[in-house]
Structures are given as C-alpha cells and as structure tokens.
Structure 1
Amino acid sequence: MMRATLNTKANKQSSFARICKRVILVALALLVIGLIGIAAVLRHEIKTVVSITEVDSHPLYTMTYDGDYGFDDFLQKGASSDTELINFVVTRLMRGVPIKLDLPDLACATFNATSPTGDALFGRNFDLTFSPAMLVRTKPEHGYESISMVNLAFLGYGKNKLPDNPLKAVTALAAPYAPLDGMNEKGLAVGVLLIDTDPTHQQTDKPDITTTTAIRMMLDKCATVDEAVEMLGKYDMHASAKRSYHFQIADASGKSVVVEYLGNDMNVIDQGNKSYLAATNFLLSPGNFDFGGGYDRYDILMSRLNATDGVMTEHEAMDALQASAQNERLNKKGEPHMTQWSVVYNLDQLTATVVCGMQYDTAHTFSLKK
C-alpha cells in the first residue's frame, strides 16, 4: 500500500515536472517569436544603429541609414517650426521616443573652387561649441544617395552622452533630418550658415519647410544648383531656432550660388564674372545690409581664391579652411567656441575629406562611390 502511494506521488511529481518543462519551452518559444517579430519590425532601425562607428576621438562617427526615413511623407506634410518637425520625426522615425532639435549660433564659412585637374570643390568650416560630429550616409528609394555632416549636439548628445552603445544611439536615428552640409551622388553640395538678421518665416500659400530639412530636400532631390534654387522657390522657408540663415550651393559643373531670405523674398547671389564664391555670416545681397559678421574669415577665403583665380588642390582648399578657422574663444554664454569640423567635398570624385577639432594633421576621407 505504501509502495503504491509512493508511486502515485512520484508519478504526480513527474507529471508536474513535464508540465513545467512544457510551459517553460512554450514561454521560451513565445519569447523567441516575439523577439523575431520585434527584430522584423525594427530591422531597419537595428541595422542603422549597429552601423554607427567611431572613426575619430573628437569624436567623429559614421552611420549608414538603412531603409526609408519618410522624407517624401514629410514633404507632403511640411513643417513651419522646429516643433512640427520634431513631432513628425518622433512619430515617423523614433516610434514615440522624444527628441529635441536645437540649432544655436553657427559661425561658419563655405566656398567653392576648382582643382588643377578640373574637379569642382566645395569647402566648409563648421564653427560652434563642442559638437560631436556624425557623417551620415543615406540612400532613399526615391532620391539621390548622399553623405552629410550632422552635429549630434543638436540631437541632445554631448560630452556626457555619446552614441557609443545601442541604447544611447537610438536618438541618432533622427540624424537624416539634421544635416548642416553634405554632397549627393550627382555632385551637388550645400552648406548652411547663420546670419544675424530677423528670423525667416515666409508667409505665402506654398508648402512649409525648415532650415535643415531644406538641406535634406536638396541632397535627396536635386542634381544641380539650378534645380536646387527652383525647388527652394517652391517652399516657404521657416528658419530653425528663431534665427536666420543662408545657404551656399555648388554642383559638379563648377556653378555656385548663395541663397538668402529677406522677408518673404528669396534672393540668389551668383558668381558673377568669377568661377568661385564664398560666404560667412553676413548678407551678400546687394544693398545697404549691415547684418552679421565673419568679414575677416571671408576676406581670408576670398584673398586666397582671388590669388589663384579660384584654382586649388584639395590640400590647398583644406589649408584655406585652416587659415579661416576659429581658434577657441568664449561665446556670449561663456562657452568655448571653435571650428568643430572642416570638410572638403570633391564634387566630381564624390569624396569628402573631414578634419575634426582642428586636428589638421589627421584627415578622414569618405567616398560616395563605395
């Protein structure tokens, strides 16, 4: 009788163990299925985050955006403020993860030149407080492949927060919407520079666009300067961060213009009888406009361009950027302010040579052909 009781208890324990094992196996199977499902839904985001690589201790990162970042949808909706842009990005790309987008004072410089072998060059200094940099590669289904430079500080990064692990890197998914300069596969390049005038807020019946999304639009959709100017003219410009900006645009033909906004009017400054053009932080539009600064940096660039009739090697172009770079100084808030990156784009060879933190003996070259 006792043996039968023991056998019954053993059978019950064995049966319970089998049930527990099945439950655990089913739970593990459901977990695996769930993870596979999440991975399938977020595969583009995961692949993008995994692509982030640190290439310079300044730091400089690279990231290849995988999949669709929804820019065609954005152009249909538009945005007349940073808040509207952030709401779109949070919903479309970040899946509800909050971000901020902040463009402070950009004391920068740009110019175009021609190499001795006839390649079109575009140079850019980006001057600001500490700015973790990221070179972002995008390849939209309905647009041109491009590389662009993004200041990660605009997305909330800084010395104490960098995209050095997957959890911290999620915010970088918004980077396609925050380019400050770049070049696409057709050899179109663009850079944005601050002007100390009233903020641009065009009020017509055209669709709305913001500063950085205008750059993304030109890189994604335009092959030439003429196409870029025509496309900008189809939108009402709303300057980010309650400031005003102008754009220098150049293409592989050697053509370059600066686009400025005066009230509701878009003004285009061309090269005139020269093959080159430069811009810093003051208006170039004809008239009595005493706005902005950077005249000293503009003079440095123009004197070098005038001396060579706009012909420079890529090394000489970087030397010109170094000569016009800003050494560390304190801005109005008492924060260190200096040139964060210098880049020379070759619009024919489709390369970008980047120097971060004024370390001009350490350059990194990237190619759109690879």
Structure 2
Amino acid sequence: MKKRNKKAIVITAIVMLIGILLILTGFFGGWFAGLFVKDIDYKNIKPEDLGKTINTDIQVFYEDIDLPDKALQVLGDISGDDMALILVDLSALSEVDKSAYYSKSLQYITVSGTLRAVDEAELKDVSDSLFRFYEDLYYDTLEKRGLEDTQENRDNFCELAMTPVIPYCLEIKSIESFNWIPFIPAGVFVFIVALILEICLVFKLKKRIVLPIVYGLMVIIPAVMLFNHIRAMLSVEKQADGLYVMKNYVCTDTREMMDSGSATTDELLDWIFDNHLYGVPNFFNIDKSHAGFGCATFAADTPDGKHLFGRNFDFMETDALLVYSHPEGAYESIGVADIGIFGVSQGSSVSPDSPFGKLIMTVTPYFVVDGMNEKGVGAGILQLDIDEPHQDNGKPDLLVFCAIRGILDYCASVDEALALLESYDIHSDLGNYHLFITDSTGRYVVVEWLDNEMVVTEYQCCTNSVIAPGEFYDMGDPDDRKDTINSCLTNDREVTAEEAMAILDEVHNRKMTEWSCVYNLEDFTVSICLDADYSKVYTFSVEEFR
C-alpha cells in the first residue's frame, strides 16, 4: 500500500471519529455543559447586588403561576432539598423569547437581567397564585384530616407553599440558548462521508463508481427500514396547542406486544426498541410522575337510543395525541395517548413539533389511555392509589397500562374484553389502576385488581377510588365526583353529547383537567375539550382518517 494511501486512511479514520464525537455532542453536549454551570448564588444575595445587571446560566424549571409574564424559577438542586424558587419577570422579553424560555424545560439557558427585592404586596400575589394552583391539594388535605376550611388553615397552607420562595425577582431582559441538536445530523454526515472514503481507499475502489451507489443506498435503506415511521410522522397534525392527531402505522402487532411477557415498563420499552427501532438501546426515560393521574368516566344513553362514553383526564400540564389505528387483523379504533409520559410536550425538553418528538409519537399507540373501536367498545384507564397488581397465575404477563390497546384492537364487546383480561397476569410498576369498559349494547363494568384478584363490578361511572363492594371499597382517592355523576344520571336519564360534556365540566378538576372526551359508540366519533375550556369543542370522525 502506498504511503500516501496509508496517510489518507488514517486521516479518514480520524474524521470518522470526529463524526462520532459530533453525534455524542448533539446528544449529551447540553448535559455535559451543565456540569460546569452554576445558578444564581441565592444564599448570598447582598443589598448591593440589587439593581445590578447580572448574567447567569439557569436550568429552566419553573412553577407556572397565573400572574402575567411571571413564573417561579427553580434554583439549586431540583431533585434535592437544596432548592429555592425565585420570581422571574419576563415582561421585557419579546414573544419569541418568552416562548423560548417556556419551551426550554430542563435545558440550560443564559439570561441577562436585573435583580430586585419583592415587596409584601407582590409576595401576597405570588402566595395567592400558588394557593389557586394547589387549591385541590388544599381541599383534599382538609378532607383527609377532617379539618374545616378556615382562614388559619389557608394561611398555614400558603405559608408552607411559600417556604422555598425567596423574596427576590429577576427581571429578565434577554435570553440565549445553545441548540445542540444540529450536531447530530452533522456528525452522521461527516461519519458516513469519511466511511465511504475509507472503504474506497482500503479496497482501492473507484470513487466515481462507488459514491453514487453508496449515496443512493444511504437514502434507500433508511427510507425502507423506517418507511412506516416516516408515514406516521408525516401524518401528525397539530389541531390546537396541546392536541395532535396521528395515524398509527408502526404499532401494528398488538398481539405480539401483549404476549411479549413484559411485566415492567422497562421490559416493554426494550421490546418496543427491539421490534420497532431495530434494537437501538432504550433511551426513553418514562416520566413516572405522569403515571399518576386523576380521572372520571361514565356511560350514558342518548335520547335517540345511542350510547356515549365520557372521560376526563386530570393531570398537570401535558399534551394529547389522538391516534387512529387500523392494523391488519385488528379493529379500527381511535384513542388518546398522553405523550407527556415520554417527555414530549410544549413544556418539556422535546417539542411535539420536532422530528424527534414525532418519532417518539410513533410508538405511543400502545399507551392510549382511553378510546373506542368500530364495534362500539369504549375503554379508559384511571389511577387507584392502592397497592400495585402483580398476578402470578402462570399466564402471560401484561402491563395494565397496555390493556386498552388490546381491548380496542381485539374486543367486540364488554364480555370479550373481560375474557382478554382474564387470560393474562396483570402487572404495573407505575401504581395501580382500574379500567372502565362499556359497549354499544349499553353494558358497562369497572375492572379492578384487588389483592391480585381481578374483580368486575357493574357500575355506570368511576373516578379514582375502588368501586367493588367489600374491604377495599372507596379506597384510593375518594371524593364527590362519583356522586355528582350519579346524580346527573339518576333514573336512567338520557343525555345528549353536549349534556355529557356538561357532566364532565361538572366534575372537572380545577386547573388539572387536560382533556375531556365524549365518544359516541355508534357514530364512531369523539368530541374533545382541552384544559377545561368547554367553550371550544374539537370533534373528530373516523371518516376523516380513512
């Protein structure tokens, strides 16, 4: 081999290494840079620091309060006790920069601004805002402790909520953030070009022949391998802030998923990566805080003899994905997935409008939390704050979180749904849940796993407490929502779709209801309201997706 060729081979190998480093920089650069970043030294703020312009790096993590252009920014260790909240004023920023701040959750940005003291009136505004935000928690605490709603109890609650808030405000004048993502495609390009040159040099191939072939294969092979992923990503459409729709072309093997023996979320994700992402190491980090959600469901008849399935999904800020699915050998269905559980939302580090966010969306159909199919079966999953189920009856293991997908794909009635659930050992490592299942015959049941036994109760509605009579009855998180729904549906009252949505409005959780759905089990339609705004209804028919 000529000396010149040896040098060229070494050089291209070095360039390949540079490409790999660029890719790693794109994935981990922000994290690595964050190791050398220090927040404001909030413990040592001195009077002479007030009024001065400061430049500092902060990791964006904020408490959203209902004060115009203001938020409570976390300082210090987010996951530890060494944490404080400082009021930030964004009113001097442009709308673009404000959006940039809110969209950079858990990312580091550089801010320039002025530090000032917060007076008593402004602290009172912050305290009142926090009380409004945590009002549900306040009333739940009173109920659990058997206390009355008194001014003293309110003051004590507000004092506790204000404990981490320091009496300063950072008036942000400008922000800067570094986008590490472009390093990834740049690194891939550099690596592939260097690899091609390396092959040509080692095997003494003519570049004018090899390069067009290799470049063509570089396009064709990924396109073929990711054809269905690309189709699904291209089908994603934004309907409103926090609401997207997508056709499912990827998660089409529900039976194999259910029979994979996955008893934990990590096992299921490993199976998904092996079967749908070609064995790429599992890089998902399930946000387990999204696994605990409060909800309400009910079934009702309409005056014209049709059947409705109503559902509230109550949780902190997240985004919803309406999924249309019709794999070969499965029923046609529509359902809603909480994509925030995968860290995809407007307030998370991965935007649902980004290509990476849309790629993650392609595997969320396995995780729909409510939906209906062409046979008129509707189902939803609701949290129960009791011991997790881990059955051991010698049957295949199935995560309860994925049961909705199986019911929508393969069950034509409530009875078939119950038979499907009976054929698996049900597990959960994200807390306990119960299922509400109904169909177009008007039948409805609540399915619960109590002391690792599957218990079925015929009941028209459920929220977040145990429905089954007996020793577990009303355990979990009981409140008056179930009674409110029952009172709205007394004497077999018939309701229209609009009246069903009004019932969901009656029991929606203040500031926590992310979406409310009314499924018409005969018409195969769903109406959705977002963020408890019942003045705006988004209605979807399955015909729109076919």
TM-score bracket relative to the smaller structure? 0.7 to 0.9
Deviation by residue 1:206-251 (Cα, 9 ceiling, x = unmatched):
111002211111111101000001110111110241x111000000
Structure 2 residue 338 is matched with structure 1 residue 151: yes
Q: C-alpha distance in 2, partners of 1:313/1:106?
A: 27
Cα distance change on mapping 1:130 and 1:67 into 2, 3 Å: closer
Which of the residues 200, 203, 219 maps onto 2:389? 200
Q: 1:233 aligns with which of 407, 422, 426?
A: 422
Q: Contact 2:255 / 2:406 at 8 angstroms: preserved in 1?
A: no
Give the Cα separation in 1 of the matches to 2:493 and 2:432: 28
Q: CA deviation at 1:32?
A: 2.4
SS in 1 for 2:217: helix
| In 2, Cα distance between equivalents of 1:55 and 1:315 | 21
Q: Does 1:105 align with 2:289?
A: no
- The correspondence for 2:513, drawn from 331, 339, 354, is 339
C-alpha displacement of 1:28: 3.5
Structure 1 portions without partners, runs of 5+: 1-21, 272-276, 329-337
SS at match of 2:527: strand
52, 55, 58: which one aligns with 2:239:
55
Return closer, same or farther for 1:85/1:68 CA change in 2, 3 Å cut-off.
closer
Query: Aligned partners of 1:293 and 1:76: how far apart in 2?
Result: 32
Equivalent position of 1:137 in the other structure: 324
What residue number does 1:288 align with? 471
CA contact (8 A) 1:344 1:352 kept: yes
**In structure 2, what is the equivalent of residue 170 of structure 1?**
359
1:317/1:294 CA distance change after superposition, 3 Å: farther
Tell me the distance in 2 between the aligned counterparts of 1:205 and 1:120: 37
Per-residue deviation, 1:196: 1.2
Give the structure with the larger helix fraction: 2
Shift of 1:310: 3.4
Larger relative contact order, structure 1 or 2 (CA cutoff 8 Å, min sep 6) = 1
**Runs of 4+ in structure 1 over 4 Å off:** none
8 Å Cα contact 1:188/1:250 also seen in 2: yes
Normalising by structure 1, report the TM-score. 0.86
1:116/1:313 contact within 8 Å kept: yes
Unmatched segments (≥5 aa) in structure 2: 1-205
**Is residue 474 of structure 2 the alignment partner of residue 300 of structure 1?**
no
Equivalent AA in structure 1 for residue 308 of structure 2 = L
- Greater alpha carbon shift after TM alignment, 126-135 vs 165-174: 165-174
CA distance in 2, matches of 1:98, 1:90: 9
Distance 1:195 1:257 in 2: 16
Q: Tell me the amino acid that sits aligned with residue 534 of structure 2.
A: Y
Q: Judging changes above 3 Å, is the alpha-carbon distance between structure 1 residues 184 and 100 closer, same or farther for their aligned structure 2 residues?
A: farther
Equivalent position amino acid for 1:358 in 2 = A
Aligned to 2:274: 91
Give the corresponding residue for 2:400: 211
Structure 2 CA distance, aligned partners of 1:23 and 1:207? 54
2-structure distance, mates of 1:30, 1:339: 52
Moved more, 228-237 or 65-74: 65-74
Any idea what SS the aligned residue of 1:144 has?
coil
1:317 is the counterpart of 2:500:
yes
Counterpart secondary structure, 1:77:
coil
1:270 aligns with 2:458: yes
SS at match of 1:35: helix
Give 1:324 deviation, angstroms.
0.3
Q: Is the 8 A contact 1:110 1:123 kept in 2?
A: yes
Change (3 A) 1:369 1:255: farther
8 Å Cα contact 1:94-1:174 kept in structure 2: no
SS at match of 1:300: helix
User: CA separation in 1, counterparts of 2:404 and 2:438?
Assistant: 12
Matching residue's letter, 1:280: T
Cα 1:68–1:108, aligned 2, differ >3 Å: closer, same or farther? closer
CA contact (8 A) 2:296 2:313 kept: yes
2:510 aligns with 327
CA contact (8 A) 1:70 1:92 kept: no
Shift of 1:89: 1.2
The more displaced of 79-88 and 249-258 is 79-88
Q: Name the structure 2 match of 1:356.
A: 530
1:94 shift after superposition: 2.9
Which amino acid in 1 is paired with 2:461?
A
Counterpart code for 1:148:
G
| Alignment pair present for 1:187 and 2:376 | yes
- Cα shift at 1:284: 0.8
In the aligned structure 1, how far is the partner of 2:316 from the partner of 2:442?
A: 32
- TM-fit CA distance, 1:278: 0.6
Structure 1 position 265, deviation (Å): 1.2
1:27-74 CA deviation, whole Å, 9 max, x = no partner?
Answer: 2443123202221221111010111111011x1001101255332222
Moved more, 111-120 or 157-166: 157-166
Alpha-carbon distance between aligned partners in 2 of 1:33 and 1:264, rounded to the nearest angstrom:
52
**SS, match of residue 402 in structure 2:** helix
Q: Aligned to 2:509, what secondary structure does the other structure show? A: coil
**In structure 1, how many angstroms separate the alpha carbons of the residues matched to 2:295 and 2:303?**
26
Secondary structure, in 3 states, of the residue corresponding to 1:164? coil
Matched with 1:333 is none
Aligned residues: 332
Measure, in 1, the Cα distance between the counterparts of 2:370 and 2:380: 4
Structure 1 residue 26, shift from structure 2 partner: 4.8
Q: Alpha carbons of 1:201 and 1:359: their partners in 2 closer, same or farther (altered >3 Å)?
A: same
2:362 partner SS: helix
CA distance in 2, matches of 1:48, 1:69: 12
Name the aligned partner's letter for residue 455 of structure 2. Answer: N
Code of the residue aligned with 1:313 in structure 2: it is T
Contact kept in structure 2, 1:339 and 1:357, CA below 8 Å: yes
Contact map agreement 1:67 1:140 (CA 8 A) in 2:
no
Identity over aligned residues, as a percent?
A: 35
1:170 deviation in Å?
A: 1.2
